[in-house]
């Protein structure tokens, strides 16, 4: 499993989603050490991030390769802009395929937006994520009972038709 942390280009530290930890990279002045990317001497400005020093334009997202100017996420010792991190590491909704960022439901071994986890029959959202499973598909209580009653009626009709009753 990937080791994940989050950071911002400020001195502020705050918690991030999914249990990640914020890091606080900052700009240094008059530091003459070497850049972690190009190994050249650092000039008047340097960024401290992920326990290394960088030229401001050399602290890059591992996904899009653009310089990171503000918030970033780190995974497996690589920095990612928020967008690339979400694309790569956040789960996608089983209903609509979009990235899940805020609240999500875990049902049927899949992740869902609450609005996308719907009854198989009537397609209404399932209140509070509560559902009844019929043939490995989610149903709300009304459709669940309707489906069960229809099945029982069908079985009874088949028994009557074939004389098994």
Q: Is the pLDDT higher at 102 or at 27?
A: 102
58 pLDDT exceeds 90? yes
Q: What tokens does 78 get?
A: 């690589």
In this structure, the answer to whether residues 66 and 14 fall within a common structural domain is yes
Question: Which pLDDT score, from 0 to 100, does residue 43 have?
Answer: 80
Range 9-25 average pLDDT: 37
Q: Rounded mean pLDDT of the chain?
A: 76
- Tell whether 30 is covered by a domain: yes
Q: Please state, for a pLDDT cut of 70, what percent of the chain lies above it.
A: 69
Lowest mean pLDDT among 16-25, 47-56, 74-83, 136-145: 16-25
For residue 145, the domain's CATH number is 2.10.110
Q: Is residue 96 part of a domain?
A: no
Tell me which residue range forms the domain holding 24.
4-89
Q: Please write the tens of the pLDDT for every residue from 81-106.
A: 988 998 888 889 999 999 888 788 88
Report pLDDT for 24.
46
CB 78 within 8 A of CB 62: yes
Q: Bigger pLDDT: 129 or 155?
A: 129
Using an 8 Å Cβ cutoff, are 81 and 63 in contact? yes
- Quote the CA–CA distance of 78 and 95 in Å, as a whole number: 30
28 pLDDT more than 60: no
Statement to judge: residues 33 and 109 lie in one domain:
no
Q: How far apart are CA 94 and CA 111, in angstroms?
A: 6
């Amino acid at each position: 499993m990937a080791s994940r942390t989050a950071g911002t280009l400020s001195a502020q530290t705050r918690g991030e989603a999914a249990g990640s930890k914020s890091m606080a990279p900052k700009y240094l002045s008059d530091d003459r050490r070497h850049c972690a990317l190009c190994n050249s001497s650092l000039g008047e400005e340097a960024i401290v991030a992920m326990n290394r020093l960088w030229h401001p334009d050399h602290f890059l997202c591992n996904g899009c390769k653009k310089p990171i100017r503000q918030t970033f996420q780190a995974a497996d010792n690589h920095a990612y802009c928020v967008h690339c991190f979400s694309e790569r590491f956040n789960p996608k909704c089983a209903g609509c395929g979009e990235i899940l960022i805020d609240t999500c439901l875990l049902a049927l071994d899949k992740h869902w937006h609450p609005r996308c986890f719907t009854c198989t029959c009537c397609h209404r959202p399932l209140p509070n994520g509560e559902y009844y499973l019929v043939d490995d598909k989610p149903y709300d209580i009304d459709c669940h009972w309707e489906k069960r009653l229809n099945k029982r009626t069908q079985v009874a009709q088949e028994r009557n038709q074939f004389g098994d009753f």
